[in-house]
Amino acid sequence: MILSLMKSGVFMNLEKVIALDEKYHMNTFGKRMPVSFERGEGIYLFTNDGVRYADFMGGIAVNALGHCNKTIKNAMHAQIDKLIHTSNLYYIEKQALLAQKLVELSCADKVFFSNSGAEANEAAIKLARLYFYNKGEGFKNEVITLNGSFHGRTLATLAATGQQKFHTPYKPLMTKFKYVAPNDIDELGKQINEKTCAVMLEVIQGEKGVFPLSDEYMSAVRELCDKNGILLIFDEVQTGMGRTGKMFGYQHFDITPDIFTLAKALGGGMPVGAICAKDFCSVFAPGDHGSTFGGNPLACAAALAVIEEIECASLVENSFEMGCYFVDRLKTVCVDKIKEVRGKGLMIGVELYSPAAPIMKKMFEKKYLCGAVDNTLRILPPLIITKSDIDGFINALAEVL
Ligand SMILES: Cc1ncc(COP(=O)(O)O)c(C=O)c1O
């Protein structure tokens, strides 16, 4: 049925899609925006009856190159024609090349691939715990994170695995998380104890409503981790791959993490995540971790194409320049309606004086896609965005506000 639908080029109408969704799909996403897209091109998404939307949400920071970018499409088509998946029982050329590329671009020495951000973060936490276990420092099972942070939605899948041999280095099985206020170094210091193995944070809290951390705080966190011999993990699932005007968010600061995680834009729409670590804590050895799909030929071909395109089209630079332009324009338009503009590069939060969801809906009616959390509009456009695209968004927002 699916094949014949695709061949015919006929899309079900929206009401039918919604009816099927309501009947058969578990509803964790609430009431979605009333639209289903048939195709995408650049920054635009199109419904089957040809209505065009400008996508300023970029698949929640995933479609860094816009929709159906030629480089990714060609790389994926070529890979699909040859080989999609083999498993990690065998060496994978593109996986090795992608690991090399990420190491060359960053402070990391080693990489491991996953399929999502949550999975990459779970692996990063396991890595931190294993590091101390291997050093003979016992079971350090506490990780400190920040209030309002978002690191993914998986349960600790490890705890569910019924084989002692997989559990041993990670006992007690549940990692304990403590939450502290962002930008408050004293509070963080007070929570560190002999069980702490890591501090994990996002350099800009995206899901909370785009809240960056300060330079001083970042340096102080690094110092505190060094002083206490604990690992610093950055969750760069959203901030990585040029989103903030640097290839990786940590490059805005004078410090580097011991471990950082990537996903979202890494595959440009193809699910792929990565855990990137410095040599001293790249302690995964055979049997310590694994993945059926992680780093498969198709995912890695897509990610290699994403990086190639980011580099060739200078998209990190464009993210920085367009981010500055966007913020400048936001600050000159509707000043009285906007409380604060936050973010770096093309990860922008516009805080209003009232809830942002009604404004997001009005923008949707004007065929502009963006996000809303509390009073903040979230803007995460593809990194290929131009000044005239931004002008269009600003004009629509000015009218809506
Ligand atoms: C900072 C951060 N970490 C982790 C995740 C989880 O990623 P995924 O949905 O790919 O599991 C997200 C998703 O929004 C995120 O923004």
Domain residue limits, the chain = 2-65+314-400, 72-312
* Closest residue by Cα to residue 369 from 384, 358, 381: 381
3-class SS at 46? strand
What pLDDT does residue 358 have? 97
Mean pLDDT confidence for 142-159: 70
Residue 235 bears catalytic tag: yes
Ligand 1 atom 13 nearest Cα: 152
CA of 232 to the centre of ligand 1 (A): 18
Question: By C-alpha distance, which of 139, 138, 143 is closest to 121?
Answer: 143
CA pair distance 261, 243, nearest whole angstrom: 14
Residues 263-279, mean pLDDT to the nearest whole number: 95
The protein residue whose alpha carbon is closest to atom 8 in ligand 1 is: 117
Confidence at residue 165, expressed as pLDDT on a 0 to 100 scale:
57
SS3 of residue 377 by DSSP: strand
Model pLDDT, residue 8 = 54
Least confident window among 29-33, 157-161, 299-303, 346-350:
157-161
The 10s digit of each residue's pLDDT in 41-90 is 999 999 988 999 999 998 888 898 999 999 999 999 999 999 998 988 88
Number of other CB atoms surrounding residue 351 within 10 Å: 18
Q: Is the CB of 211 under 6 A from ligand 1?
A: no
Using left for φ > 0, alpha for ψ between -120 and 50, and beta otherwise, residue 50 falls in: left
From 264, 275, 347, the mutation candidate for ligand 1 (largest count of ligand atoms within 8 A of CB) is 264
pLDDT at 400 over 80: yes
Rounded Cα gap, residues 265 and 91, in angstroms:
24
Could you tell me what percent of the chain has a pLDDT over 70?
Answer: 92
- The tally of CA atoms less than 13 A away on the side-chain side of residue 64 is 38
Catalytically annotated residue among 94, 208, 264, 344: 264
CATH 3.30.360.10 fits 2-65+314-400, yes or no: no
Q: Where are the beta strands (DSSP E) in 238-289?
A: 259-262, 273-277
**Residue 93 alpha carbon to ligand 1 centre in Å:** 27
Whether residue 166 lies in the annotated active site:
no
- Joined together, the tokens standing for residue 389 give 């695209």
Q: Given pLDDT bands bounded at 50, 70 and 90, which one contains residue 153?
A: low
The predicted model gives 308-318 an average pLDDT of 97
Q: What is the pLDDT of residue 171?
A: 67
Domains 2-65+314-400 and 72-312 share a fold: no
Determine the distance separating the centroid of ligand 1 and the alpha carbon of 362, expressed in angstroms. 27
- Tell whether ligand 1 has an atom less than 6 A from the beta carbon of residue 152: yes
| Residue to probe by mutation, ligand 1, list 237, 248, 266, most atoms within 8 Å of CB | 237
The per-residue pLDDT of the chain, averaged, comes to: 90
pLDDT for position 117: 82
Q: What is the mean pLDDT of residues 257-276?
A: 95
- C-alpha distances in Å from residue 79, one per residue of 82, 89, 94, 266, 300: 5, 19, 10, 17, 10
- pLDDT tens digit string along 183-213? 999 999 999 999 899 999 999 999 889 999 9
Stronger pLDDT, 174 or 338, i.e. the higher one: 338
Q: Which one from 55, 235, 258, 389 is the annotated catalytic residue?
A: 235
- What angle do the packed helices 297-312 and 93-105 form, to 10 degrees? 40
Average pLDDT over residues 107-133: 90
What is the spatial distance between Cα 222 and Cα 199, in angstroms, rounded to a whole number? 9
Query: Which amino acid type is present at position 65?
Result: L
Which helix (H) or strand (E) element contains residue 124? helix 117-134
Instruction: Report helix angle 387-400 to 357-365, nearest 10.
Output: 120
Q: How far does the centroid of ligand 1 lie from the alpha carbon of residue 89, in Å?
A: 28
Q: In the prediction, which pLDDT does 59 show?
A: 87
Residue, of 366 and 130, whose pLDDT is higher: 366
Q: Could you identify the atom of ligand 1 that is nearest to the CA of residue 118? A: 11
| Residue 353 pLDDT | 95
* Ligand 1 near 202 CB (within 6 A): yes
Which of 238, 239, 347 to mutate for ligand 1's pocket (most ligand atoms within 8 Å of CB)?
A: 238
The answer to which of 271-280, 309-318, 326-335 has the lowest mean pLDDT is 326-335
> What is the model's pLDDT at position 294?
81
Indicate if 140 belongs to the active site.
no
- β-bridge mates for residue 156, sequence order: none
Q: Predicted confidence band at 156 (pLDDT cuts at 50, 70, 90)? A: very low
Beta strands in 246-375 (DSSP E): 259-262, 273-277, 338-344, 347-352, 368-369, 371-373
Residue 162 has pLDDT above 80, yes or no: no
CATH topology of domain 72-312: Aspartate Aminotransferase; domain 2 (3.40.640)
Weakest-pLDDT range from 151-160, 266-275, 292-301 = 151-160
CB of residue 148 inside a 6 A radius of ligand 1: no
Position 174 scores a pLDDT of: 72
Residue with tokens 């996903």: 263
The C-alpha atoms of residue 258 and residue 108 are separated, in whole angstroms, by: 8
> Is 120 a pocket residue for ligand 1 (Cβ < 6 Å)?
no
Angstrom CA distances, 28 to 130, 192, 206, 364, stand at 33, 35, 20, 21
Set 150, 260, 320, 326: catalytic member: 150
Residue 305 near residue 285, CB atoms below 8 Å: no
Q: For residue 159, what pLDDT is reported? A: 47
Q: Is residue 116 lining ligand 1, measured as CB closer than 6 Å?
A: yes
Q: Whose CA is nearest to atom 7 of ligand 1?
A: 117
